[in-house]
A and B are shown apart, each in its own frame.
Chain A
């Protein structure tokens, strides 16, 4: 990529050298009255401009191709390899991130929804047993009631051990369900790198376009485009909310704002 273009926004020195030499020669030919040769030189001048343009565009195309080809990810096992090799572009990759995070969230919620009623049942059973146990200690219990309590305590020990086992295994599965972070992190990092590269190439393209304008003498009448984001259009999560005055940084800010509006 022609870095020098980025640095000083100047034409290729080799090209300006050629232009100067040919211009001087052109003046000489014209002064000498050799119009045929002069016309030939004018054509050559055009060729220099065209070739320089083609070379810049060619370089840009090559580096874009390279960036896309380099956009690959290291898979750690066959399963990952299969999942990753079938993804040809960045949007597929991001779709994969959405899928993986979605799967992890659903898996976690399945396990939580299984554990919650168990915790509830444990609480209810131990509360009931504690009440009866205290009646027993106060010697308010009939022998028949005691025999029934004896059985319930027995059952409670069995179900509590089973429920605790199930909850423990749910918790460790929830822990494992967080492993998406590793792969999605890699994918997002790659996509971010690609976006940065593309941005850099686009910036170079802008510089090259201004060079083309210089070569052709084109002047654009570009109006500054204003930020016309409507406030009531959905925009998704805001970044760096804490540093911005137009964005709330949490629920407390929302509550303050709403109460200032009379809520």
Chain B
């Protein structure tokens, strides 16, 4: 299971990386916005994407939209972990094809639950 973590703050990437490791996912890479993430996703054979929304360059929502229009990536499961908390935004993310949505601040238990739920649905 290879996972890409996208967040502009290295602190948040590190927290998510640690939580994923505790859940048994040790094969993770990091990117700091959509523009760096997209080429990595296209060439890197990732199984799962955890992304922030609000980032300089390409936002998480735009990254999600790009992924859903790319033939090789459109089935990639995407979990959004973000501080964006407006109902309209969550609806927009759902419409863009997000697989899970976690609002910051979050707990390890919530992250675990959402990831497990996404994998249950895929299998």
Contacts and interface: CB of A to CB of B under 8 A. Distances in A.
A39 interface: no
Interface stretch (B35-43, B69-77, B101-109): B101-109
B110 A251 contact: yes
Contact of B84 (A109, A113, A236, A258): A236
Contacts of B102: 251, 254
A247 B83 CA distance: 11
A171 B11 CA distance: 19
Interface residues on A, range: 20 to 34
Contact of B86 (A102, A113, A235, A263): A235
A105 interface: yes
Contacts of A261: 91, 94
A67 to B, nearest CB: 30
A258 B54 contact: no
Interface string B66-104: 000000000000000001111111111010000001111
**3 tightest CB-CB pairs across the interface, nearest first?**
A231-B88, A234-B54, A105-B11
Contacts of A246: 86-88
A236 B11 contact: no
Contacts of A106: 10-11, 14
A238 B14 CA distance: 24
Contacts of A112: 18
Interface string B102-121: 11101000100000000000
A238 B85 contact: yes
Contacts of B106: 251
B11 A109 contact: yes
